[in-house]
């Protein structure tokens, strides 16, 4: 008797969850999957022309190094998975830096261009987009091969809050996000 009541409650909650998730169509789960893919950029970088990158930016506060690579990322990046066209031009001198990244091509192209570093962000009148602020961005590339490993903290929070229905990065159903108050 107790088992049946517990089982029926569990099944009832499961049915309720499926009805609520299904009432918004597949878009809710699609947006959660998109948010998950946007949390990290990680992969092997390959270029047809020689490139150089030794660049890191910690939590968008302190950046150091330089990168100039035009090639492909084999992995996950810019909200995409697979073999992704990628170009990055970044520089950092401690609290002053700039990042220019292009992920994909054609209709799936995403271009992020913004200041990084504590001084650069303080000097700007508006914050960089949540896709790469705050973020830990790392590029290492010598000649034709390298690696990318980026952790995008605002997108991580957006992924978690997305389960409550709150879209902090204002990117659900959009190609590029912006802060929810903008």
pLDDT 10s digit of each residue in the chain, 182 long? 555 777 778 777 677 666 665 555 577 778 888 888 889 999 999 999 999 999 999 988 899 999 999 999 999 998 889 999 999 999 999 999 999 999 988 777 888 888 888 887 788 767 788 888 889 999 999 999 999 999 999 889 988 988 888 888 888 877 777 777 77
42 lies in a domain?
yes
Closest CA to 83 of 91, 92, 72, 93: 72
For the chain, what is the domain count?
A: 1
Which pTM was predicted? 0.77
41 lies in a domain?
yes
Range of the domain at 149: 33-162
Q: Is the peptide bond before 134 cis (omega within 30 degrees of 0)?
A: yes
10 lies in a domain?
no
27 lies in a domain?
no
Rounded Cα distance between 13 and 19, Å, is 10
86 lies in a domain?
yes
**Strand, coil or helix: 43:** strand
Rounded Cα distance between 61 and 33, Å, is 28
139 lies in a domain?
yes
129 lies in a domain?
yes
Rounded Cα distance between 156 and 96, Å, is 25
């Amino acid at each position: 008797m107790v088992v049946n009541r517990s089982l029926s409650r569990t099944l009832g909650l499961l049915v309720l969850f499926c009805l609520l998730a299904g009432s918004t169509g597949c878009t809710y789960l699609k947006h959660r999957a998109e948010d998950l893919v946007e949390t990290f950029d990680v992969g092997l970088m390959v270029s047809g022309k020689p490139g150089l990158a030794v660049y890191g930016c910690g939590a968008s506060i302190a950046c150091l190094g330089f990168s100039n690579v035009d090639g492909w990322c084999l992995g996950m990046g810019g909200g995409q998975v697979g073999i992704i066209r990628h170009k990055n031009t970044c520089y950092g001198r401690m609290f002053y830096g700039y990042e220019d990244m292009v992920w994909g091509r054609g209709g799936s192209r995403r271009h992020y261009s913004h200041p990084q570093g504590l001084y650069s962000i303080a000097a700007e009148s508006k914050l960089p987009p949540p896709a790469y602020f705050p973020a830990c961005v790392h590029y290492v590339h010598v000649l034709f091969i390298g690696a990318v490993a980026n952790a995008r903290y605002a997108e991580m929070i957006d992924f978690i809050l997305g389960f409550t229905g709150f879209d902090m990065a204002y990117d659900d159903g959009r190609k590029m996000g912006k802060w929810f108050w903008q």
